[in-house]
A and B are shown apart, each in its own frame.
Chain A
Amino acid sequence: MKASYAFIRELLPALTASPRELSDAFTFAGLEVEGLSEFGAASVECVVVAVLSKRPHPTKDKLALVTVDLGEGKTQEVVCGAPNVPEPGGLVVLAPLGAHLPAAAGGKGMTMARRDVAGVPSEGMLCSESELGLSDSGEGILVLPANLADPGTRLSDAIPSSHDHVFEINVTANRPDALGHVGLAREAAALYDLPFAMPSLAAVLAETAGAAGGVIGDVVRIQVEDAAGCPHYGAAAITGVSVHASPLNVRYRLAALGVRSISNVVDVTNLAMLGYGHPMHAFDLDRLGGMIVVRRAKAGEKLATLDGVERTLDAGDLVIADAEKPIALAGVMGGATTEVHAGTTRVLFECAYFDPRSVRRSARRHGMHTEASHRFERGVDPGDVEEVLAHALATTRALAGGKALDGMLHVRADMPRPQPIKLQRVKMDRLLGVSHDWQAALSLLERLGCTVHGTATDDEAELRPPTHRPDLLRSVDLIEEVARVRGIDSIPAELPPIRASRDVGGREELEREVREAAVSLGLSEAVTFAFLSPEDLANAKAPPAFVGLKNPLAVTQSVMRTRLLPGLLQAVGRARRHGVKDARLFTIGRTYVAPDAAARAKEPVDPAGAWPVDERTSVAAVFVGERPSWLQKPESLDVWDVKGTALELVARATRGVWTATAERLDATVEGAAHLHPRGAARLMARGRQLGTFGPLHPDVLEAFDLTAPVFVLELDLEALRAPLEAADRVVYKPIPRFPASARDVAVVVKDDVLAGAVVDEARRAAGDLGQEVALFDRFTGGSIPEGHTSLALRVVYRAAARTLTDAEVDARHTEVTQALQRAFGGQLR
């Protein structure tokens, strides 16, 4: 909210702090000042002058040479291009030589210097409101009302509100009192220990129209049908007003606070709101039909609000109605039919306390957020209704004339008074960890409007909070007041003794292990959104979403993912379109699926409620592009790259405890439809499926607009969270003491023979002496017959307790070669 330094000073004349000092004081008391700017800076340097005469410019017919009276007998001639230079005697504003106008020149600012306008020297300029920074309108120069001030008076003296300092305050939701200048002045008084008192309005109320104007109760009747929605409805009326534009002093005050001036009567309500933080409304009394009803709307009722929108009301909306139809949406916005207009002579002012929740619901339902609803939602002061109405009457009389009708109307239900709160010294000191002066604390609370209830002792006191502080409900709220006004920053630092406890959930460490493993395997981590579009899931042949969002920001973020892959595929697609051809990305995140009822039945009941859905932590990776090579022609990645990464990822993430294997997977089964049928595989360990990997199915590539082959890997980390088994440890095996002998064998087999089967057979045949069998060459073409492949194996032989002789090794190796020939009909090479 914007706040005016000058307005605060008017309410608290004893305040001597500068705008900058006050800004810091507010910030460190919890009213965060996010910006401080100067309004009408030029007003201090510009002066009121009177036009003495004007004559045409010798060469330019759009310009005039104006002689002005600067006061004290001084005159000056300036060149002026405005069409509205008044006749002699009219008051205008001169920016003299050296004056700086920050808002002039389209906001770039300018400093007045002697200049030559088409051959005529000019030492100064007659200013428009926009050049002075006082309004957005640039229609000609500012012409002041006659007799406003003597020539030579500074503009900021002639119109005090033309110069101000404006705070931009971020008022938190618990401080509705700070949404008005009275509240800010009261706060400043507490912070600087100054006396604060509102000016008495008794005199205003005494001076009414008397019998001639009538009694308010005779001209309007108020009926509140929903006391819960409107515990207090107050009204006052004034007759004989003249509706016109507000004087400049009011217009500039409003402009400084970002409020548009409408007319003197409407401005009265805005001034009251800006002053008290209590919104009010002005009705044209002659259009009300003598009746105000506060009630819930009938579903489907229509109301044309002041913003020119015709709204269809909901049965939950609280409205102000006349005898037949709604005329305002309570606490949100008035209606067009009873608006104050140029011909209005009798005005009814409304000042009410509306239920915050009711106002909030209506405002949200209609997508409206107004200055009024913002304040009512947070809770206006229920104790200042009469004062606000009196203030409105007084201001109206000053700005629009007229006489108040006798009396006010108040329809009120029992509003609970703020209850006294017990504050204990020892509790305060213990919570803050520091001892504050007790008497100082009590007097500080009194300055904030609390009243001591009964007698305070040295150890405790009962304090009743003021009606303008609905946030003060318990003793901690009072303790916070003491802490924040005394300076929360003065609390000392002391490390707490922390009692050790265990992790809950355990995902953080597992995720860290997996992240380390993936990064060590050359993958880079991505963070993808948990929500995506239903199409994204369909495109990735993933299960449809279990959870949809009611109010997504966009359809592309409307359902919760069941797989991590779509987000990664989109990232890869974007990267490729930007010319990045190689990408190896992984992401760790949750997928959201239907609760597994069987698994949950075994779990103990959670007093905080079971997790609404099953959130499975997963890791997914994508590989696209080329394998790193060194000064050679690079080679494209293939399915064995992802296989190698997949197996190693499991090993590294479990610190070598788990050894995973890869199995071919029927791609038509659930969970693998996104994989290319030739390369679909699943990752197994301990008899459990941990995940899947393989080349992406061409349908999926196409759906994600990917042209190069992409290889993917998905791993369910929940499977890795299985409790450690006894075997889940690395068991030391003695280092071999006797040497090994290696023999190679190459065998030519038909293409459909699996390399793994050949290795397995060799391992079987090598028996107890075979320590290791490794495939080291795979070759087709050349001298190898069509449809065949040559596989070369190295078999390492070793005995645990002795050195093998060459003869023993040769004999066993012969058995291996014969076994391979027998099993696969293979030719030896």
Chain B
Amino acid sequence: MSSIDQALADLRAAFPARFAAAETEQALRDENAKILGKKGELTAILKEMGKLPNEERRATGEKVNLLKAEVEKGFEARLAELAKGKRDADLAAPPFDLTLPGRLALPRGHKHPISRVREDVVAIFRQMGFAVHDGPEIELETNNFERLGFPPDHPATDMQDSFWTEDFGGGRTLLRTHTSNIQARAMMGQKPPFAFIAPGAVFRRDDDVTHSPMFHQLEAFVVDRGVSMAHLRGVLSEFAVRLYGPDTPVRLRPSYFPFVEPGAEVDIGCAFCKRPDGTRAGCNVCKHTGWIEILGCGMIHPVVFEQCGIDPEEFTGFALGMGLERVAMLRYDVDDIRLFTENDPRFLEQF
């Protein structure tokens, strides 16, 4: 047996144990390099081959290649074994501490509860085909009162005690007391049909647990030929169902607002004590009546049409309006309206 054959035999016998002894991927690669590397043992044997006679060289070359293939296979096998061992160890390692807080690059932002209600209500009316109009918060007296059928010095304006502005050279102006100024502006500027909502801030001289000097209203306004009180009721019922869920009844009580006739206040079946069978148990929110009042409404008064240049013989229509604070107070069980404008982060972050 030539010395080369002996060397090959020794290497063949030794490498499996040497690979098995390597406990890490790096140690295995180092060991592999010691054998197959440029300065490795097999390479050294290969160099010895040059000294062999030609006829032996070919056979020996085949043996060397065979061994090389064997070593490579052994290396791959051990590599896979190590990887599997590592994976098994990883899988068997103790669980992560998932009680540690989660990581977020940004804190969570919160919409104001009034905005949440506003967006919901706007979306409902949009789905029913209403457009959205806006208008000025500082308004001419005429658009806030006269064109809406409020006679000057009438006690009806007591309901809407106004903030008047100092004169800045543009006639008598005030902070609008309702968003109904927008219906006056719409009718002055365009001809029917109308179907829009007007959400926005309004201002009245009131300040207590349920009244804020600035609050938000949303009014819906429909005018066309042949619009009836049944249509008003239809929109109210649809709105109630979409905001508070199926089987939400609507109840009308006659009331008075100068710009509508007939006018009514609207009670909606309490959403907070509804039982599975559709009846109401009564709760603190509805003061144990099963009903909550959230809207005022009515058929547009002919005087309003006349004031705004629309023929009441040709067109009829309705308006309905709600206070968004009231809807939010009921929905979120907020008992003091002032919380909405104090802006305490501990309040805002709850929504």
Chain B stretch 81-118: residues in CB contact (< 8 A) with chain A: 100-101, 103-112, 114-115
A165 CB within 8 Å of chain B: no
Q: Does A488 contact B253, Cβ atoms closer than 8 Å?
A: yes
- For A489, the closest partner residue in chain B by CB is B252
Q: Which of B138, B193, B250 contacts A499 (CB 8 A)?
A: B193
Taken together as a complex, chains A and B put the C-alpha atoms of A754 and B126 apart, in Å, by 50
Q: Does A575 contact B155, Cβ atoms closer than 8 Å?
A: no
Q: Chain B's nearest CB lies how many Å from the CB of A424?
A: 11
**Hey, what's the 0/1 contact readout for B38-70 against A, CB within 8 Å counting as 1?**
000000000000000000000000000000000
Chain A stretch 553-596: residues in CB contact (< 8 A) with chain B: 553, 557, 560, 567-568, 571, 574-575, 578, 580, 582-585, 589-590, 592, 594
Q: Which of A476, A529, A609, A615 contacts B213 (CB 8 A)?
A: A529
Q: Does B345 contact A580, Cβ atoms closer than 8 Å?
A: yes
B244 CB within 8 Å of chain A: no
B15 CB within 8 Å of chain A: no
**Hey, what's the 0/1 contact readout for B127-141 against A, CB within 8 Å counting as 1?**
011111111111110
Residues of B within 8 A of A479 (CB): 261-262
Chain A stretch 590-623: residues in CB contact (< 8 A) with chain B: 590, 592, 594, 606-609, 611-613, 615
Q: Does B134 contact A575, Cβ atoms closer than 8 Å?
A: no
Chain-A contact segment, one of B25-33, B200-208, B274-282: B200-208
Residues of A within 8 A of B299 (CB): 431, 476
Taken together as a complex, chains A and B put the C-alpha atoms of A497 and B106 apart, in Å, by 46
Taken together as a complex, chains A and B put the C-alpha atoms of A434 and B143 apart, in Å, by 32
User: Contacts A527-B343, A553-B205, A628-B105: A495 and B231 contacting too (C-beta < 8 A)?
Assistant: yes
Q: Chain B's nearest CB lies how many Å from the CB of A173?
A: 4
Residues of B within 8 A of A488 (CB): 252-254, 262, 264
Q: Which of B110, B153, B185, B252 contacts A361 (CB 8 A)?
A: B153
Q: Which of B130, B173, B222, B236 contacts A612 (CB 8 A)?
A: B173
Residues of A within 8 A of B252 (CB): 488-489, 491
Q: Does A505 contact B107, Cβ atoms closer than 8 Å?
A: no
Q: Does B154 contact A530, Cβ atoms closer than 8 Å?
A: no
Q: Chain B's nearest CB lies how many Å from the CB of A475?
A: 9
A296 CB within 8 Å of chain B: no
**Hey, what's the 0/1 contact readout for A140-165 against B, CB within 8 Å counting as 1?**
00000000000000000000000000
A484 CB within 8 Å of chain B: yes
User: Contacts A432-B228, A508-B122: A631 and B253 contacting too (C-beta < 8 A)?
Assistant: no
Q: Which of A175, A518, A560, A608 contacts B256 (CB 8 A)?
A: A175
Q: Which of B194, B196, B255 contacts A172 (CB 8 A)?
A: B255
A493 CB within 8 Å of chain B: yes
Chain-A contact segment, one of B1-9, B71-79, B159-167: B159-167
Q: Does B107 contact A584, Cβ atoms closer than 8 Å?
A: yes
Taken together as a complex, chains A and B put the C-alpha atoms of A527 and B123 apart, in Å, by 21
Residues of A within 8 A of B265 (CB): 32
For the complex, count residues of A whose C-beta is within 8 A of B. Answer: 100
User: Contacts A504-B196, A505-B135: A553 and B213 contacting too (C-beta < 8 A)?
Assistant: yes
Q: Chain A's nearest CB lies how many Å from the CB of B143?
A: 6
Residues of A within 8 A of B10 (CB): none
Taken together as a complex, chains A and B put the C-alpha atoms of A173 and B257 apart, in Å, by 9
A-B contact count (CB 8 A): 297
User: Contacts A527-B343, A551-B163, A606-B189: A491 and B256 contacting too (C-beta < 8 A)?
Assistant: no
Q: Does B109 contact A520, Cβ atoms closer than 8 Å?
A: yes
Chain B stretch 299-351: residues in CB contact (< 8 A) with chain A: 299, 301-303, 316, 340-346, 348-349
Residues of B within 8 A of A500 (CB): 129, 131, 195
Taken together as a complex, chains A and B put the C-alpha atoms of A30 and B185 apart, in Å, by 30
Taken together as a complex, chains A and B put the C-alpha atoms of A660 and B303 apart, in Å, by 50
B229 CB within 8 Å of chain A: yes
Q: Does B153 contact A483, Cβ atoms closer than 8 Å?
A: no
Q: Does B349 contact A173, Cβ atoms closer than 8 Å?
A: no
A531 CB within 8 Å of chain B: yes
Q: Does A630 contact B154, Cβ atoms closer than 8 Å?
A: no
Q: Does B155 contact A378, Cβ atoms closer than 8 Å?
A: yes
- For A608, the closest partner residue in chain B by CB is B188
- For B173, the closest partner residue in chain A by CB is A612
Interface of chain B, main secondary structure: mixed
Q: Does A524 contact B110, Cβ atoms closer than 8 Å?
A: yes
Q: Chain A's nearest CB lies how many Å from the CB of B346?
A: 6
User: Contacts A480-B254, A501-B194, A580-B344: A553 and B207 contacting too (C-beta < 8 A)?
Assistant: yes
Q: Does A431 contact B316, Cβ atoms closer than 8 Å?
A: yes
Residues of B within 8 A of A378 (CB): 155
User: Contacts A571-B342, A580-B346: A172 and B165 contacting too (C-beta < 8 A)?
Assistant: no
Q: Which of A361, A433, A568 contacts B231 (CB 8 A)?
A: A433
Chain A stretch 509-568: residues in CB contact (< 8 A) with chain B: 509, 512, 515, 518-531, 546-553, 557, 560, 567-568
Q: Does B188 contact A432, Cβ atoms closer than 8 Å?
A: no
Taken together as a complex, chains A and B put the C-alpha atoms of A240 and B170 apart, in Å, by 62
Taken together as a complex, chains A and B put the C-alpha atoms of A623 and B263 apart, in Å, by 47
**Hey, what's the 0/1 contact readout for A459-501 against B, CB within 8 Å counting as 1?**
0000000000000001011011001100011011111111111
- For B156, the closest partner residue in chain A by CB is A173
Taken together as a complex, chains A and B put the C-alpha atoms of A609 and B226 apart, in Å, by 29
Taken together as a complex, chains A and B put the C-alpha atoms of A582 and B253 apart, in Å, by 48
Q: Does A609 contact B143, Cβ atoms closer than 8 Å?
A: yes
Q: Does A173 contact B213, Cβ atoms closer than 8 Å?
A: no
Q: Does B164 contact A551, Cβ atoms closer than 8 Å?
A: yes
Taken together as a complex, chains A and B put the C-alpha atoms of A489 and B138 apart, in Å, by 37
A27 CB within 8 Å of chain B: yes
Q: Does B155 contact A173, Cβ atoms closer than 8 Å?
A: yes
Q: Does B100 contact A548, Cβ atoms closer than 8 Å?
A: no
Taken together as a complex, chains A and B put the C-alpha atoms of A528 and B166 apart, in Å, by 22
Q: Which of B110, B184, B194, B349 has the most CB of A within 10 A?
A: B110
Residues of B within 8 A of A434 (CB): 229-230
Q: Does A611 contact B138, Cβ atoms closer than 8 Å?
A: yes
Q: Chain B's nearest CB lies how many Å from the CB of A762?
A: 27
Residues of B within 8 A of A571 (CB): 342-344
- For A484, the closest partner residue in chain B by CB is B254
Taken together as a complex, chains A and B put the C-alpha atoms of A387 and B264 apart, in Å, by 34
Chain B stretch 183-242: residues in CB contact (< 8 A) with chain A: 184-186, 188-189, 193-196, 199, 201, 203, 205, 207, 213-214, 222, 224, 226-231, 233-238
Taken together as a complex, chains A and B put the C-alpha atoms of A339 and B341 apart, in Å, by 50
Taken together as a complex, chains A and B put the C-alpha atoms of A575 and B114 apart, in Å, by 20
A72 CB within 8 Å of chain B: no
Q: Does A608 contact B214, Cβ atoms closer than 8 Å?
A: no
Q: Which of A433, A528, A606 contacts B228 (CB 8 A)?
A: A433
- For A546, the closest partner residue in chain B by CB is B168
- For A526, the closest partner residue in chain B by CB is B343
Q: Does A174 contact B132, Cβ atoms closer than 8 Å?
A: no
**Hey, what's the 0/1 contact readout for A370-381 against B, CB within 8 Å counting as 1?**
000000011000
Q: Does B255 contact A492, Cβ atoms closer than 8 Å?
A: no
A430 CB within 8 Å of chain B: yes
Taken together as a complex, chains A and B put the C-alpha atoms of A175 and B263 apart, in Å, by 13
Taken together as a complex, chains A and B put the C-alpha atoms of A240 and B279 apart, in Å, by 65
User: Contacts A30-B253, A498-B128, A609-B143: A628 and B109 contacting too (C-beta < 8 A)?
Assistant: no
Taken together as a complex, chains A and B put the C-alpha atoms of A27 and B264 apart, in Å, by 11
Q: Which of A356, A502, A525, A529 contacts B110 (CB 8 A)?
A: A525
Q: Chain A's nearest CB lies how many Å from the CB of B326?
A: 15
Q: Does B188 contact A548, Cβ atoms closer than 8 Å?
A: no
Taken together as a complex, chains A and B put the C-alpha atoms of A523 and B111 apart, in Å, by 9
Q: Which of B156, B164, B166 has the most CB of A within 10 A?
A: B166
The 8 closest A-B pairs by CB, nearest first: A433-B230, A433-B228, A30-B254, A505-B134, A172-B256, A608-B188, A519-B109, A496-B231
What are some 20 contacts across the A-B interface (CB < 8 A)? A30-B256, A434-B229, A476-B261, A500-B129, A500-B131, A505-B132, A524-B109, A527-B112, A529-B341, A547-B138, A560-B165, A567-B343, A574-B343, A575-B344, A584-B107, A585-B348, A607-B189, A608-B184, A609-B142, A611-B138
Q: Apart from A527-B343, A612-B171, what 14 extra A-B contacts exist at CB < 8 Å?
A: A431-B299, A476-B262, A476-B301, A492-B230, A508-B199, A515-B115, A519-B109, A521-B106, A546-B168, A578-B344, A585-B345, A590-B201, A606-B188, A612-B170
